[in-house]
Amino acid sequence: MKSIRYERSYKGPVRAVILDWAGTAVDFGSIGPVAVFQEVFRDSGVEVSVAEARSPMGLMKKDHIRAMCAMERVAGRWRAVHGRTPDEADVEAMYSRLEPLMMMSLARHCDPVPDLFDALADFRKLGLKIGSCTGYTGPMMEVLVPEAERRGYRPDSIVCATDVPAGRPYPWMCYLNAIRLEVYPLEAMVKIGDTVSDIQEGLNAGMWTIGVTRTGNELGLTEEQVNALDPAELEKRLSVIEDRLRLAGAHFVAGSIGDCPPIIDEINRMMA
C-alpha cells in the first residue's frame, strides 16, 4: 500500500495574538511576583537572590518553586539549613504560603504597560482577536483580571495555568485560547511574551513568537528605573536579553508590546 503524504501551508494573514500578562501587558518589569518568591523561601530559612527568583518566571507558580529548588545553589543553601535537599512536600508547603501572598501582591502590580492600549487599537485595526495566558493560577487571576479591567484591559480570552493539564512550556494554554477565540490554523496566531518559557510555549504550539525585552522579566526594572538608566547601559542590557530570547527561538524581538503591530505587518508580508 502506498504511503499517504499530506502537506498544507497557510498563506493567510495573522488572525490572533496571544499576550502574556505580567511584563508584557501589565506590571512593567514583572515586579509583583519576585518579592513573593523570595519571601516564601526566606520563611523556610533560605535566602534566594532576585536573579534566582526571576530565572524560572513564566512557569506555573508551583513549577516555578520546583525549578528554584532544583537550582544547585538554592539546593545547597537548603541542605546547609535543613540537612537535606528540598522535596515535593517542601514545594507544597511553600506553595501554600505563596498563593495568598501572590494575590495580595497582584492587586498592587496590575497597571497596564504604557503603550498597551495603542497596541490593542492597532491589533483591532488589523482585525485580530486578542487572547492571553499566564503562569498565574485561577485564584490569582480572580484578583488580577478585575483590577486590570478597572484600568481598561480585558482581552477576548483569558487562560491560566490551572485551566489546562500543564503550564508552560507546554502548548496547552495556547491551544485553549485558539479554541475559545475560534481561530485556526495555529500558524495564523502570534504568541507575545517576555520570558523564555513564553517563547517555548508559542513554538511548541506552532505559533509565531515575539519576545518582549524592555518591559519584561529579563530586564526586571520598573518604568522609572528604565528611564533613569544610562542609555548606553540600557542598550547593552537589552542586547543581551534579545540574544537570550532569540536563542530560545523567538522569531522576532520587540522592546514592548507597542512595538509589535509593525511586526505583525511583517509576518503578514512573509506569509502572503
Question: Which tens digit of pLDDT belongs to each residue from 145-186?
Answer: 999 999 999 999 999 999 999 999 999 999 999 999 999 999
Record the pTM: 0.88
Residues 27 and 60 in one domain: no
Percent of the chain with pLDDT over 90: 84
Query: Which domain CATH number covers 169?
Result: 3.40.50.1000
Domain end, chosen from 106, 134, 163, is at: 106
DSSP structural state of residue 126: T
Cβ atoms 130, 15 nearer than 8 A: no
Domain end, chosen from 106, 126, 148, is at: 106
Q: Examine residue 130 and state whether it is found in any structural domain, yes or no.
A: yes
Q: How many CB atoms lie within 10 A of CB 98?
A: 24
Residues 189 and 234 in one domain: yes
Residues 69 and 150 in one domain: no
Q: Rounded to an integer, what distance in angstroms lies between the CA atom of residue 270 and that of residue 265?
A: 9
Residues 132 and 144 in one domain: yes
Q: Examine residue 4 and state whether it is found in any structural domain, yes or no.
A: no
Q: Examine residue 1 and state whether it is found in any structural domain, yes or no.
A: no
Cβ atoms 52, 74 nearer than 8 A: yes
Residue 46 pLDDT: 94
Q: What is the mean pLDDT of the chain?
A: 94
Residues 126 and 256 in one domain: yes
Residues 69 and 127 in one domain: no
**Domain that residue 95 falls in:** 33-106
Q: Which residues are catalytic?
A: 20, 61
User: How far apart, in Å, are the Cα atoms of 97 and each of 40, 43, 137, 176, 199?
Assistant: 7, 9, 14, 29, 29
φ and ψ at residue 190, rounded to 5 degrees: -125, 125
Residues 119 and 136 in one domain: yes
DSSP structural state of residue 257: G
219 pLDDT above the threshold of 90? yes
Residues 70 and 124 in one domain: no
Query: Which domain CATH number covers 100?
Result: 1.10.150.240
Residue 187 pLDDT: 95
Q: Rounded to an integer, what distance in angstroms lies between the CA atom of residue 67 and that of residue 104?
A: 23
Residues 97 and 213 in one domain: no
Q: Examine residue 6 and state whether it is found in any structural domain, yes or no.
A: no
Q: Rounded to an integer, what distance in angstroms lies between the CA atom of residue 13 and that of residue 126?
A: 9
38 pLDDT above the threshold of 80? yes
Question: For the chain, how many structural domains are there in total?
Answer: 2
Residues 179 and 90 in one domain: no
Q: Examine residue 154 and state whether it is found in any structural domain, yes or no.
A: yes
